[in-house]
């Protein structure tokens, strides 16, 4: 009787070890101090993790591509002064730079619309240039900080550089003022002038409202 009970309790363990031995045949998964069972479990867990990681990467790429497609649709309403085939590249630039600073790409898109209506060759009366209307003296400092090669004012007519500098500048202003609306006002007025306004008890809101209104207008309900 005792022998029968012992056999019944040991049998499942023996079968489990036998199965593990079958699946691990020809492979050396031995780790000093670690039983074959735990080695197999670890390998299984690693496989699941890699599968989940791959799935996450695919979903991330799909989301980025979906966002880029929708930015292209927004771009279609504007004359950027660039070859039509460059629209998709421009959309991917916006999505990529937005991801770098955890921005919604449609916020950056709204800022570009407000600044230049996507006219790559835009020039303001104050001398700001390009898609995100950056002053050359500001751009020189920004380019140095993010290690972009500065080749004079024409650099700001390179969409990739202009958007990279503009996105970085917005991120700096958000960190400095701790608020998106204030950061947008600083982008428009300049941080020194905005700080002066704030010290006097004045808080401008007109520009930030324009950007946010544009953002609400173009922002889709879903990316994919």
In the chain, where are the structural domains located?
66-218
User: What pLDDT is attached to residue 61?
Assistant: 61
Please report, for residues 18, 46, 104, 117, the alpha-carbon distance to residue 182 in angstroms, rounded to integers and kept in the order given: 67, 46, 17, 22
User: What pLDDT is attached to residue 196?
Assistant: 97
Q: CA 132, CA 108: separation in Å to the nearest integer? A: 9
Tokens in use for 78?
């504007």
Q: Are 116 and 130 in contact (CB under 8 A)?
A: yes
User: What pLDDT is attached to residue 42?
Assistant: 66
Q: CA 131, CA 141: separation in Å to the nearest integer? A: 18
Tokens in use for 50?
């890699």
* Residues of the chain below pLDDT 70: 1-43, 45-46, 48-62, 221-224
User: What pLDDT is attached to residue 192?
Assistant: 96
So which residues are the catalytic ones? 115
User: What pLDDT is attached to residue 173?
Assistant: 98
- Domain 66-218 bears CATH identifier 3.50.50.60: no
The model's pTM is 0.73
């Amino acid at each position: 009787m005792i022998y029968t009970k012992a056999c019944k309790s040991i049998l499942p363990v023996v079968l489990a070890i036998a199965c593990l031995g079958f699946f691990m045949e020809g492979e050396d998964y031995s780790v000093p101090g670690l039983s074959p069972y735990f080695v197999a479990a670890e390998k299984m867990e690693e496989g699941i993790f890699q599968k989940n990681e791959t799935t996450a990467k695919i979903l991330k790429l799909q989301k980025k591509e979906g966002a880029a497609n929708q930015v292209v649709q927004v771009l279609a309403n504007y004359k950027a002064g660039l070859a039509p085939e460059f629209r998709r590249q421009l959309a991917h630039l916006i999505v990529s730079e937005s991801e770098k600073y955890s921005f919604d790409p449609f916020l950056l898109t709204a800022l570009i619309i407000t600044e230049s209506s996507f006219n790559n060759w835009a020039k303001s009366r104050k001398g700001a240039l390009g898609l995100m209307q950056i002053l050359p003296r500001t751009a020189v400092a920004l380019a140095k900080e993010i290690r972009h090669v500065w080749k004079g004012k024409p650099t700001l007519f390179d969409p990739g550089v202009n958007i990279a500098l503009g996105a970085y500048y917005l991120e700096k202003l958000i960190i400095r003022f701790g608020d998106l609306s204030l950061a947008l006002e600083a982008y428009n007025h300049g941080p020194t002038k905005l700080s002066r306004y704030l010290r006097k008890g004045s808080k401008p809101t007109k520009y930030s409202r324009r950007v946010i209104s544009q953002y609400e207008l173009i922002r889709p309900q879903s990316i994919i």
